[in-house]
Structures are given as C-alpha cells and as structure tokens.
C-alpha cells in the first residue's frame, strides 16, 4: 500500500440500518452529528444507513421494495401518459 494516503483518525462508529433498526459498530472516519448509547454503556457517533446486509434483498433472499425518496412514484407520474397509451394498444 502507498504510504501517506490513508487517514489517521479512525475511531469506533455505530452504523444503524434505518429500515430494520440493526446497529453495528466498526472503525471508521465517517463524520456524524448524532450519537447513540449502546448496550455496552458506551456512546458512539451514529451514522444512519438506508440499507445494509440485514435488509438488502440479495442477502435476505426476500424481494422488498425500498423506496425512501419516492422514486417509484416520481417515475410513474412522469411516464403515466406513456404507460396509458401503451396499455390501450
């Protein structure tokens, strides 16, 4: 590995999957304004995740639609006329 390109400020950080509440702690340089106190009694910086290996369909084997920003609704609204024309043919 090249020297001098990796950060020096690694610390323990808690990552929480917001879709199912799963929390894990690992070393990271990710910044966070929030903190969380875990079962071990220690307080860690908290980074919120939209999806992790505990909720991703590839790892769980369950097909689940994760739509946190309304992307599917935006798509359907944008192309509803086109889809309606296609169905009427």
**Residues 6+ positions from 71 with CB-CB distance below 8 Å:** none
Q: Which position has the higher pLDDT, 74 or 15?
A: 15
Strands (E), the chain: 11-17, 23-28, 34-37, 43-49
Percent of the chain scoring above 70 in pLDDT: 84
Does residue 49 carry a pLDDT above 80? yes
Q: Whole-prediction pTM value?
A: 0.62
Q: Which position has the higher pLDDT, 14 or 4?
A: 14
Domain boundaries, the chain: 11-88
Length of the chain: 89
* Model pLDDT for residues 8-20, shown as the tens digit of each residue: 889 999 999 988 8
Asked if 36 and 43 touch (Cβ cutoff 8 Å), the reply is: yes
């Amino acid at each position: 590995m090249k020297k001098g390109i990796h950060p020096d400020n690694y610390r323990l950080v808690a990552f929480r999957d917001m879709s199912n509440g799963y929390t894990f702690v690992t070393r990271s340089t990710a910044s966070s304004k929030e903190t969380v106190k875990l079962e071990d009694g220690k307080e860690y910086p908290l980074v919120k995740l939209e999806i992790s290996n505990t909720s991703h369909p590839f790892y769980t084997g369950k097909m689940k639609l994760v739509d946190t920003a309304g992307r599917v609704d935006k798509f359907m609204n944008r192309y509803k006329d086109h889809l309606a024309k296609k169905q009427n043919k």
